């Protein structure tokens, strides 16, 4: 039993390492995670930076401090999407078929991909926090906040990634997975990733108040701009758990479907 678990853990680690290296080596996979969110962060911070003086805007050191969490979550969603695209390409090219022919569990193949997504999530947090600090953002709660944010981003990437991985497993098609890219922005725009929900226009403001993505954004943002609140962090953890349970359930169903279809 323990030997089997150890063997599967080694497979997950090896596949995870391969996936991380694949993302870092291919600019078309790495660019959407870094370049696009960084460009949008820079433009929105300078373009809408005076919004911090609006009545009702939460007290922040600067707009960049406020925007960091939104940029991280945007990048995490793209990481999940990008990982699932690479996974679908692996399936299209027959790489996963060769893995299924070896004596390892099918779940390990999926978990390997998701482990990489979680790892990339942590790297994204480190990147954006470093970028923020260089350009004048303040982390209100210091080092403990940084460690907590790395944990939240890593867990969120795993949860988001599992949902898109389920789509890749179900459809076997990279172009279908790529097609949900605009949906990422729809979900982001109706959360308070880029602006406080109370200052957004209706109906986006109403949706943002109940959007679980807002809970995750606020969980990451609060220790940066304000301080700790147990309620906010519990909401963030609950939202991540909810996305994760949904994603893993869908993955399990998709894998059962593949076995039934003889894939």
Partner 1 sequence: MSWQSSVATIRVLVRRALNEITRVPGAAIPGVLAPAIFFLGLTSVFGSLTLLPGFTTHSYQSFLIPVSLLQGAAFTGAATGVNLARDIEQGWFDRLLASPASRPVLLAGLVLSASLRSLLPATFLLIVGLAVGVHWPGLGGLLIALFLVMGMAVVAATWGTSLAFRFKTQSAAPLMQVGMFLAVLLTTAYAPLHLLTGWLQTVARINPVTQVVEAARQGFVGSVTWGDTWPGLLALFGLAALFTMLALRGMRRMTL
Interface residue list for partner 1 (CB under 8 A): 27-28, 31, 35-36, 39, 42-51, 53-55, 179, 182, 185-186, 188-190, 194-195, 199-201, 204-205
Compute CA distances 202 → 137, 183, 193, 199, whole Å: 29, 19, 16, 9
How far is it, in rounded angstroms, from Cα 263 to Cα 260? 8
Q: How far is the CB of 185 from partner 1 (least distance, A)?
A: 6
Nearer residue to partner 1 within complex by CB, 8 or 172: 172
Nearer residue to partner 1 within complex by CB, 202 or 231: 202
- Phi/psi region, residue 188 (left: phi>0; alpha: psi -120 to 50; beta: rest), is alpha
- Provide the H-helix boundaries in the chain: 2-25, 27-47, 63-92, 95-100, 106-134, 142-171, 174-178, 181-189, 204-210, 212-225, 230-260
Nearer residue to partner 1 within complex by CB, 82 or 154: 82
Q: How far is the CB of 14 from partner 1 (least distance, A)?
A: 28
Q: How far is the CB of 6 from partner 1 (least distance, A)?
A: 40
For the four alpha carbons of 74, 78, 81 and 83, in that order, the dihedral sign comes to: negative
DSSP tag of 135: T
Q: How far is the CB of 89 from partner 1 (least distance, A)?
A: 14
Q: How far is the CB of 36 from partner 1 (least distance, A)?
A: 8
Nearer residue to partner 1 within complex by CB, 35 or 147: 35
Nearer residue to partner 1 within complex by CB, 72 or 115: 72
Q: How would DSSP label each residue in 148-215? A: HHHHHHHHHHHHHHHHHHHHHHHH--HHHHHTTHHHHHHHHHTTTTSS-GGGSPTTHHHHHHH-HHHH
Q: How far is the CB of 67 from partner 1 (least distance, A)?
A: 11
Nearer residue to partner 1 within complex by CB, 188 or 255: 188
């Amino acid at each position: 039993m323990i030997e089997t678990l150890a063997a599967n853990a080694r497979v997950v680690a090896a596949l995870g390492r391969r996936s991380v290296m694949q993302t870092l080596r291919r600019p078309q996979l790495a660019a959407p995670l870094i370049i696009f969110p960084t460009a949008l962060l820079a433009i929105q911070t300078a373009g809408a930076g005076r919004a911090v003086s609006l009545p009702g805007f939460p007290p922040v050191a600067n707009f960049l401090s406020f925007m960091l969490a939104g940029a991280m979550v945007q990048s995490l969603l793209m990481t999940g999407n990008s990982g699932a695209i690479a996974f679908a390409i692996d399936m299209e090219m027959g790489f996963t078929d060769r893995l299924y022919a070896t004596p390892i569990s099918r779940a390990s193949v999926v978990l390997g991909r998701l482990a990489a997504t979680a790892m990339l999530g942590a790297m994204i947090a480190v990147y954006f926090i470093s970028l923020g600090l260089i350009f004048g953002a303040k982390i209100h709660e210091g080092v403990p906040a940084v460690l907590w944010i790395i944990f939240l981003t890593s867990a969120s990437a795993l949860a988001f990634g599992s949902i898109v991985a389920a789509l890749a497993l179900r459809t076997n098609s990279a172009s279908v997975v790529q097609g949900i890219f605009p949906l990422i922005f729809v979900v982001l725009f109706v959360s308070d990733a880029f602006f406080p929900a109370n200052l957004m226009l209706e109906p986006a403001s109403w949706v943002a108040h109940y959007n679980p993505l807002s809970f995750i954004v606020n969980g990451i943002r609060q220790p940066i701009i304000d301080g700790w609140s147990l309620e906010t962090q519990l909401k963030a953890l609950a939202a991540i758990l909810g996305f994760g349970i949904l994603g893993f359930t869908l993955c399990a169903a998709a894998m059962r479907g593949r076995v039934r279809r003889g894939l």
